[in-house]
Structure 1
Amino acid sequence: MSTTQVLPPPYNKSAEANGGGAVNSIGDAETHVVQPKGGDDTSASAAAGARAGGHGVAQLVDGDGNGDAGAGAGAGAGSAAGGNEVLETNARTKGQWFAYVKTKQFWVALVLGQVLAICITSTNTLSQLLSFEGTSIPAFQTFFNYVLLNIVYTSYTLYKYGFKNWGRMVLKDGWRFIILSFFDVEGNYFVVLAYRYTTILSAQLINFWAIVVVVAISFFFLRVRYAWLQILGIFLCIGGMGILFGSDHLTGYNAFPASNALKGDLFALLGATLYGITNVFEEYLVSERPLYEVVGQMGFWGMLINGAQAGIFDRASFRAAVWNSKVGGYLTGYTLILFLFYSLAPVMFRLTSAAFFNISLLTGNFWGVAIGIKVFHLQIHWMYPIAFVLILLGQVIYFLRQGQLAEQVKPWLGEGQEEGVAGIGTAKRRVERPEAIV
Structure 2
Amino acid sequence: MGKSDDYYGPTAPGTTITVSDPSDSETAAVAAGLHELEAESAHWYSYFQTFDFWAVILLGQVLALCITGTNTFSTFLANLGTSIPAFQTLFNYVLLTLIYLPVCLYYHGPRKLGGIILRDGWKYFILSFLDVEGNYFTVLAYRYTNLLSAQLLNFWSIVCVVILSFTVLRVRYKWAQVAGILVCCGGMGVLLASDHITGANGGPAANAVKGDLFGLLGATLYGLSNVFEEWFVSKRPVYEVLTFLGVFGVLINGVQAAIFDRQSFASATWNGAVGGYLVGYTLCLAIFYSLAPLILRMGSAAFFDISLLTGNFWGVIIGVHVFGLAIHYLYPVAFVLIIVGLVVYFLAGSMLGDSKKPWLGDNQEGGVAGIGTAKLKALNTARKKALVAQETGAV
TM-score using structure 1 length:
0.80
Aligned position for 1:80: 30
Structure 1 residue 254, shift from structure 2 partner: 6.1
Instruction: Spell out the pairing of 1:167-206 with structure 2 (5 A cutoff).
Output: 167-200=114-147, 202-206=149-153
Aligned position for 1:93: 41
- Matched residue count: 371
Of 261, 270, 285, 1:338 maps to 285
Q: Deviations over 1:85-104 (max 9, x none)?
A: 4433315628x411212211
Aligned position for 2:180: 233
Aligned position for 1:250: 197
Cα distance in 2 for residues equivalent to 1:257 and 1:214: 30
Which letter maps to 1:88?
E
**Structure 1 stretch displaced more, 393-402 or 247-256:** 247-256
Cα distance in 1 for residues equivalent to 2:202 and 2:270: 27
Contact 1:183 1:277 in 2 (8 A): yes
Cα distance in 2 for residues equivalent to 1:279 and 1:417: 20
**Structure 1 stretch displaced more, 271-280 or 315-324:** 315-324
Which letter maps to 1:118?
L
Which letter maps to 2:109?
G
Aligned position for 1:166: 113
Contact 2:33 2:377 in 1 (8 A): no
Paired residue secondary structure (2:122): helix
Go from structure 1 to structure 2 and tell me whether the alpha carbon gap of 1:350 and 1:316 turns closer, same or farther (over 3 Å shift): same
Structure 1 residue 158, shift from structure 2 partner: 0.7
Q: Deviations over 1:354-394 (max 9, x none)?
A: 00000100001101111111232222100100110000000
Go from structure 1 to structure 2 and tell me whether the alpha carbon gap of 1:148 and 1:139 turns closer, same or farther (over 3 Å shift): same
Q: Deviations over 1:271-302 (max 9, x none)?
A: 11111100000000100000000011100111
Paired residue secondary structure (2:227): helix
Structure 1 residue 131, shift from structure 2 partner: 1.8
The answer as to 2:346 corresponding to 1:399 is yes
Aligned position for 2:241: 294
Cα distance in 1 for residues equivalent to 2:179 and 2:251: 41
Supply the RMSD in Å over aligned alpha carbons.
Answer: 2.4
Aligned position for 1:222: 169
Aligned position for 2:14: none
Structure 1 residue 235, shift from structure 2 partner: 0.5
Structure 1 residue 314, shift from structure 2 partner: 1.3
Contact 1:53 1:76 in 2 (8 A): no
Of structures 1 and 2, the one with the larger relative CO (CA 8 A, separation 6+) is 2
Aligned position for 1:350: 297
The answer as to 2:103 corresponding to 1:153 is no
Instruction: Spell out the pairing of 1:246-325 with structure 2 (5 A cutoff).
Output: 246-253=193-200, 255-256=202-203, 258-325=205-272
Cα distance in 2 for residues equivalent to 1:192 and 1:85: 45
Contact 1:399 1:406 in 2 (8 A): yes
TM-score using structure 2 length:
0.88
Unaligned runs of 5+ in 2: 9-19, 384-395
Q: Deviations over 1:34-72 (max 9, x none)?
A: xxxxxxxxxxxxxxxxx96999x9xxxxxxxxxxxx964
* Sequence identity (%): 58
Higher fraction of helix: 2
Contact 1:127 1:192 in 2 (8 A): no
Contact 1:148 1:299 in 2 (8 A): yes
Unaligned runs of 5+ in 1: 1-50, 58-69
Paired residue secondary structure (1:406): coil
Structure 1 residue 317, shift from structure 2 partner: 1.5
Go from structure 1 to structure 2 and tell me whether the alpha carbon gap of 1:298 and 1:377 turns closer, same or farther (over 3 Å shift): same
Cα distance in 2 for residues equivalent to 1:240 and 1:262: 26
The answer as to 2:338 corresponding to 1:388 is no
Structure 1 residue 163, shift from structure 2 partner: 0.9
Aligned position for 2:388: none
Paired residue secondary structure (1:162): helix
Go from structure 1 to structure 2 and tell me whether the alpha carbon gap of 1:291 and 1:52 turns closer, same or farther (over 3 Å shift): farther
Go from structure 1 to structure 2 and tell me whether the alpha carbon gap of 1:249 and 1:426 turns closer, same or farther (over 3 Å shift): same
Q: Deviations over 1:326-348 (max 9, x none)?
A: 22111111111100000000000
Cα distance in 1 for residues equivalent to 2:150 and 2:323: 16
